[in-house]
């Protein structure tokens, strides 16, 4: 019972501190798991390669805007390797894909920053880092199936298996834009996802974009029908509703064919207002 004496207050504040401290501890642990995994696989080499390109690009041109260039790296987390090397990391990606994505981003950022430091460059902004992770080779797992009609909306990783019934033409997703102030104060700025001109932090005038340095990625929206819609097309009293998936270019290697059967692994991205799944891998099935 809370009596209001000082001992209890001390205990209370200790508990609060513990609660505050635990998320960052777990984030730290998750980042260490990702880092260990990268070091044990070829992912570290890929990260070093991307950071190396950034350094080389800057050394060749020596333009201030080159320090705002993106560092893009595609990281395939292979199911079998995860199973073999880090079951904990596999559990994290399946149960908490968004947290996994954050851990990957911050880990890669740390590794890139270390390499830039070695090369004598200042750290980049985290918005310049684009860690395109995928989870490759996760087998079809009935427990992960996404079935909105059963109100079975998994918050973790989810799978959609079915027939590609429609897809949009490629659309552009803006990953990063780079801006400069044209009124002589030599300031630069980076934005992610927005193409609206930011205001200069020095003179408050709208900034201009280095159009050629805009970083984009194409994506399609897919409509996936359940296989049963094709196998038993004459079943009456049954409405087959397509599931919507956003498929970014880095998440698949195979071509899209209408009528083709695919297995998609993905998750709900924060802020998605529809039942739209963000794919983190697609393969023919
Ligand atoms: Zn300015």
Task: Round the CA-based radius of gyration of the chain to a whole number and report it.
Answer: 23
Q: How far is the centre of ligand 1, averaged over its atoms, from the C-alpha of 232 (Å)?
A: 64
Tell me which residue has tokens 């196998």.
231
Domain count, the chain: 1
Q: Whole-angstrom Cα distance, residue 138 to residue 281? A: 9
Residue 151 domain-assigned (yes or no): no
Full domain range(s) for residue 31: 22-137
CB atoms < 10 A from the CB of 155, how many?
A: 11
Across 17-21, 66-70, 99-103, 227-231, least confident range:
17-21
Residue 45 domain-assigned (yes or no): yes
Q: How far is the centre of ligand 1, averaged over its atoms, from the C-alpha of 188 (Å)?
A: 9
CATH code of residue 37: 3.30.1640
Contact 207, 182 (CB under 8 A): yes
Q: How far is the centre of ligand 1, averaged over its atoms, from the C-alpha of 201 (Å)?
A: 7
Residue 143 domain-assigned (yes or no): no
pLDDT tens track for 104-117: 999 999 999 999 99
Q: Indicate the angle between helix axes 97-118 and 43-61, nearest 10 degrees.
A: 50
Q: How far is the centre of ligand 1, averaged over its atoms, from the C-alpha of 180 (Å)?
A: 8
Higher pLDDT, 178 or 23: 178
User: What distance, in Å, lies between the first and last C-alpha atoms of the chain?
Assistant: 59
Q: Which two tokens stand for residue 180?
A: 């400069």
> What is the pTM for the complete model shown?
0.84
67's CB contacts (< 8 A; 6+ apart) are: 58, 121, 122, 124
Give the model's confidence band at 5: pLDDT under 50 very low, under 70 low, under 90 confident, else very high: very low
Q: How far is the centre of ligand 1, averaged over its atoms, from the C-alpha of 199 (Å)?
A: 8
Q: How far is the centre of ligand 1, averaged over its atoms, from the C-alpha of 196 (Å)?
A: 16
Residue 243 domain-assigned (yes or no): no
Residue 94 domain-assigned (yes or no): yes
Q: What is the DSSP letter of 152?
A: B
Q: How far is the centre of ligand 1, averaged over its atoms, from the C-alpha of 46 (Å)?
A: 37
Q: Which two tokens stand for residue 199?
A: 């205001």
Q: Is the pLDDT of residue 9 over 70?
A: no
Q: Whole-angstrom Cα distance, residue 155 to residue 26? A: 19
Q: Going along 150-214, which residue ranges are E strands?
A: 158-167, 171-180, 188-191, 208-209
Residue 32 domain-assigned (yes or no): yes
Q: How far is the centre of ligand 1, averaged over its atoms, from the C-alpha of 206 (Å)?
A: 8
Q: How far is the centre of ligand 1, averaged over its atoms, from the C-alpha of 151 (Å)?
A: 52
Q: Is the pLDDT of residue 239 over 80?
A: no
Q: How far is the centre of ligand 1, averaged over its atoms, from the C-alpha of 174 (Å)?
A: 24
Q: How far is the centre of ligand 1, averaged over its atoms, from the C-alpha of 185 (Å)?
A: 5
Q: How far is the centre of ligand 1, averaged over its atoms, from the C-alpha of 216 (Å)?
A: 26
Tell me which residue has tokens 């802020």.
271
């Amino acid at each position: 019972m809370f009596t209001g004496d000082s001992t209890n207050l001390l205990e209370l504040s200790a508990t609060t501190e513990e609660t505050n401290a635990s998320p960052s501890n777990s984030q730290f642990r998750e980042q260490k798991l990702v880092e260990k995994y990268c070091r044990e696989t070829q992912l570290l080499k890929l990260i070093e390669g991307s950071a190396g390109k950034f350094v080389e690009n800057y050394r060749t041109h020596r333009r201030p805007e080159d320090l705002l260039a993106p560092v893009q790296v595609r990281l395939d987390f292979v199911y079998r390797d995860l199973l073999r090397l880090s079951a904990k990391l596999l559990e994290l990606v399946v149960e908490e894909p968004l947290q996994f994505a954050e851990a990957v981003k911050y880990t890669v950022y740390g590794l890139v920053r270390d390499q830039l430091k070695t090369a004598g460059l200042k750290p980049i902004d985290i918005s310049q880092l684009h860690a395109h992770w995928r989870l490759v080779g996760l087998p079809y797992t009935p427990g992960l199936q996404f079935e909105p009609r059963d109100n079975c909306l998994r918050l973790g990783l989810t799978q959609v298996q079915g027939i590609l019934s429609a897809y949009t033409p490629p659309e552009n997703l803006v990953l990063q834009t780079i801006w400069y102030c044209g009124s002589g104060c030599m300031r630069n700025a980076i934005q992610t996802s927005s193409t609206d001109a930011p205001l200069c932090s020095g003179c408050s005038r709208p900034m201009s974009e280095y159009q050629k340095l805009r970083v984009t990625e194409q994506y399609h929206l897919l409509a996936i029908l359940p296989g049963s819609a094709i196998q038993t097309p004459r079943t009456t009293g049954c409405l087959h509703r397509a599931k919507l998936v956003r498929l970014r270019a880095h998440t698949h290697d195979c071509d899209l064919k209408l009528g083709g059967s695919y297995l998609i692994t993905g998750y709900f991205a924060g802020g998605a207002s529809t039942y739209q799944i963000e794919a983190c891998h697609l393969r023919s099935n």
